[in-house]
Amino acid sequence: MLKFFEYNWQVRDEWFEWCSPLTLEELLKDRTGGKGSILHTIFHIIDVEYSWLRGIQGKEDVVMQFGDYNTAEKLKSLSDTLRTEIVAFLKTNLDEIKEELISVPWDEDKYTVDAILHHIIAHEIHHIGQLSIWAREMELNPVSVNFIGRKFGIFHSG
């Protein structure tokens, strides 16, 4: 499962690169689906990942506002900063807690750590699909979502 976190982060970083030649106006343009714009959708991906992972750790949710991170550069910086904390947590022995039931303030139900981790991965992949559709609508090539051929190593070699 950790390779899928790393995969999502690689793809996210490639989306940041993809955004670099575009104008801020284009990145903030209201679109159908997702969270309405390219940057807001990327912000949403980062926010959801961080909120759920803090929830697993029993930490208070940090409520972030998109207006504070409404450029590709600010979002990339946020993503990099939070990733450092996330990697440290994910390197702990998750197998010991994977069946633990977690409750979070934004949801009435309880979920296992394992289910939450899978949800975080699937959530980002879902929204990356939305970004890919928007790229095609703009007549641009989207970021490759191929898993095969990528190199992984944050968590372990191989």
Report domain extents, the chain. 40-59+67-141
Q: How many CB atoms lie within 10 A of CB 33?
A: 12
**Residues 83-114, buried b or exposed e (16+ Cβ, 10 A)?**
beebeeebeeebeeeeeeebebeeeeeebebe
**Spatial separation of the C-alpha atoms in residues 105 and 90, rounded to whole Å:** 22
Q: Which CATH architecture has domain 40-59+67-141?
A: Up-down Bundle (1.20)
Give me the amino acid identity at 137. E
- In angstroms, the CA 116 to CA 111 distance is 7
Residue 34: pLDDT above 80?
A: no
Confidence band, pLDDT 50/70/90 cuts, at residue 158: very low
Cα separation, 145 vs 26, in Å, equals 22
Per-residue model confidence (pLDDT) at position 156: 65
Record the pTM. Answer: 0.94
pLDDT at 153 over 90: no
- pLDDT the model gives residue 155: 81
